[in-house]
């Protein structure tokens, strides 16, 4: 990516004039075209009515499916629009026919909401949850995963990139194990879609959840679910409504084909349009180029933070992404966050209690999370590290 291109992406992102935004794992700054798509649709809703605005924009709204499918190497009918990654993941997870004694294999760095869902299903149905240990680098140990599979394993469910660190789990290696044993594989790709190249066929996952507002730079309150067509057509969705099913006789209904059965009737159309625009924008830049720049910027920030007195980096894994986590000696993460915010520098805090098998086990109550995107710059990294060093002066 040339400096001229980065300058253009920044010129197309109004927020870059106001903040140093290293909170892309929370919610990215949206490009102006995404903002305009959302606001433009809301204006039409105000002017002609919500249903009428939807009819008028139906081609652009429906382009959402082709954009999402193109982004992750799926087919459009394998995509469901869902309001966020958690509900997308839930729609897949809670629709799986798990019963007493069935085993779910997951990873130590699993997203906390997913783990809460495992606990709920364990309590309700007697499903057993087992955590695959990490290898020496801190990523999911694929050999251990292979050894843990037995006749009761019904699901492999892994978070690609955790919310609380730079780790990138090896999704395709895990996919090979899942394929070899014919076990359904659910991938939480909330932090990776929009940051890294993600191809569901290459990964070999059966279900994948993603969100709009993070690295995809879409609107808040948007997300999507991918479910492989033949699996989707065999699944009984946890909820049905008049969008996901047809009422075909007094006592009968027919489920909508493929991923549509995981959607619901009412949705945030301005957001769907905005997310389609965000994905178009990302694809026009190229996910390979976005990935290369994000990884490179992440490495620069890690290197420079490591040279700042009192800072300890907390990321693990063989491959590390644009999420950079650290602790500052003698200061709570919340204090670092607040001090940076006073200087219009945005980061966030990840809590150990929400990463019990990872951060807490490693002795961290919380960490500062700085997460970079391709529109961030080396200059911003320098300014960021200057601000971090200045914490030590008072
Ligand atoms: C790894 C991971 N999975 C899932 C989610 C949930 O995404 P959403 O807030 O869109 O439901 C997050 C949010 O931080 C996340 O980091």
Quick: pLDDT tens for 136-159.
999 999 999 999 999 999 999 999
Angle, helices 32-48/269-285, rounded to nearest 10 degrees: 160
Domains and CATH numbers, the chain: 3-22+286-391 (3.90.1150.10), 34-284 (3.40.640.10)
Say which DSSP state 76 is in. Answer: G
Distant-in-sequence, close-in-space partners of 303: CB < 8 Å, separation ≥ 6: none
pLDDT digits (tens, 9 = 90+) for 153-169: 999 999 999 999 999 99
pLDDT digits (tens, 9 = 90+) for 307-347: 999 999 999 999 999 999 999 999 999 999 999 999 999 99
CA distance 216 to 203: 19
- Protein residue closest via CA to atom 16 of ligand 1: 163
Say which DSSP state 29 is in. Answer: P
The DSSP bridge partners found for residue 225 are 80, 209
State in Å: Cα 85 to ligand 1 middle: 6
Read off the tokens for 280: 């178009």
The torsion angle over the Cα atoms of residues 90, 268, 162 and 354, rounded to 10 degrees, is: -70
SS3 309: coil
pLDDT at residue 72, rounded to an integer: 98
DSSP string, 160-200: SS-TTSSB---HHHHHHHHHHHT--EEEE-TTTBTTB---H
Q: Whole-angstrom distance between the N-terminal and C-terminal Cα of the chain?
A: 38
The DSSP bridge partners found for residue 391 are none
In the chain, pLDDT over 70 holds for what percent of residues?
Answer: 100
203-219 core/surface letters (b: 16 or more CB in 10 A; e: else): bbbbbbbbbbbbbbbbb
Read off the tokens for 221: 């309150």
How many CA within 13 A on the CB side of residue 386? 8
Confidence of residue 394 (pLDDT cuts 50, 70, 90): low
State in Å: Cα 234 to ligand 1 middle: 26
> Average pLDDT over the chain, rounded to whole?
97
Q: What residues does ligand 1 touch, defined as CB less than 6 Å away?
A: 84-86, 111, 159, 162-163, 188, 190-191, 211, 223
Read off the tokens for 116: 């809460």
Confidence of residue 393 (pLDDT cuts 50, 70, 90): confident
Q: Are 392 and 336 in contact (CB under 8 A)?
A: no
Q: Are 22 and 368 in contact (CB under 8 A)?
A: no
Q: What is the pTM of this model?
A: 0.97
State in Å: Cα 56 to ligand 1 middle: 32
Say which DSSP state 297 is in. Answer: H
State in Å: Cα 193 to ligand 1 middle: 11
CA distance 322 to 342: 23
β 20-21/207-211 pair status: unpaired
For a ligand 1 pocket test, name from 109, 162, 191 the mutation site with the most ligand atoms within 8 angstroms of its C-beta. Answer: 191
CA distance 301 to 378: 8
Read off the tokens for 67: 């954009």
Say which DSSP state 355 is in. Answer: S
CA distance 318 to 170: 9
SS3 381: helix
CA distance 260 to 240: 11
State in Å: Cα 377 to ligand 1 middle: 25
Angle, helices 58-72/269-285, rounded to nearest 10 degrees: 50
pLDDT digits (tens, 9 = 90+) for 89-105: 999 999 999 999 999 99
CA distance 339 to 392: 12
In the chain, pLDDT over 90 holds for what percent of residues?
Answer: 99
State in Å: Cα 163 to ligand 1 middle: 7
pLDDT at residue 66, rounded to an integer: 98
pLDDT digits (tens, 9 = 90+) for 247-301: 999 999 999 999 999 999 999 999 999 999 999 999 999 999 999 999 999 999 9
DSSP string, 325-336: EEEETTB-HHHH
Confidence of residue 392 (pLDDT cuts 50, 70, 90): confident
For a ligand 1 pocket test, name from 163, 168, 209 the mutation site with the most ligand atoms within 8 angstroms of its C-beta. Answer: 163
Angle, helices 378-391/287-306, rounded to nearest 10 degrees: 30
CA distance 327 to 231: 43
- Protein residue closest via CA to atom 15 of ligand 1: 163
């Amino acid at each position: 990516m040339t400096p001229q291109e980065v300058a253009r992406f920044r010129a197309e992102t109004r927020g870059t004039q106001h903040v140093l935004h290293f909170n892309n794992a929370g919610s990215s700054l949206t490009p102006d075209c995404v903002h305009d798509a959302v606001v433009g649709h809301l204006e039409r809703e105000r002017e002609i009515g919500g249903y009428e605005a939807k009819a008028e924009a139906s081609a652009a709204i429906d382009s959402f499916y082709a954009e999402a499918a193109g982004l992750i190497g799926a087919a459009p009918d394998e995509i469901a629009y869902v309001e966020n990654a958690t509900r997308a993941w839930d729609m897949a997870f809670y629709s799986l026919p798990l019963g007493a004694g069935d085993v779910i294999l997951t990873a130590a760095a699993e997203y906390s909401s997913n783990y809460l869902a495992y606990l709920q299903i364990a309590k309700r149905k007697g499903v057993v949850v087992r955590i695959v240990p990490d290898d020496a680098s801190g990523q999911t140990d694929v050999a251990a995963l292979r050894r843990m599979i037995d006749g009761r394993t019904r699901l492999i469910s892994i978070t690609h990139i955790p919310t609380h660190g730079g780790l990138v789990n090896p999704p395709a290696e895990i996919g090979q194990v899942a394929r070899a044993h014919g076990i359904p594989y659910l991938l939480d790709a909330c932090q990776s879609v929009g940051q890294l190249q993600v191809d569901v066929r290459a990964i070999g996952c059966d279900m994948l959840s993603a969100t709009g507002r993070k690295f995809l730079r879409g609107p808040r309150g948007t997300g999507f679910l991918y479910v492989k067509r033949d699996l989707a057509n065999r699944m009984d969705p946890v909820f049905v409504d008049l969008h996901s099913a047809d009422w075909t006789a007094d006592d009968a209904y027919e489920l909508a084909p493929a991923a549509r059965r995981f959607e619901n009737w009412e949705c945030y159309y301005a957001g769907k349009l905005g997310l389609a625009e965000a994905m178009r924008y990302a694809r026009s830049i190229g996910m390979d180029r976005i990935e290369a720049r994000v990884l490179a910027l992440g490495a620069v920030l890690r290197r420079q933070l490591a040279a700042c007195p009192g800072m300890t980096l907390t990321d693990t894994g063989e491959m590390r992404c644009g999420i950079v986590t650290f602790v500052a000696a003698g200061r709570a993460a919340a204090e670092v966050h607040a001090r940076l915010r006073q200087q219009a520098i945005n980061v966030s805090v990840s809590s150990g209690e929400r990463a019990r098998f990872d951060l807490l086990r490693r002795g961290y109550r919380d960490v500062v999370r700085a997460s970079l995107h391709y529109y961030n710059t080396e200059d911003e990294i320098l300014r960021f590290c200057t601000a971090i060093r200045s914490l030590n002066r008072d």
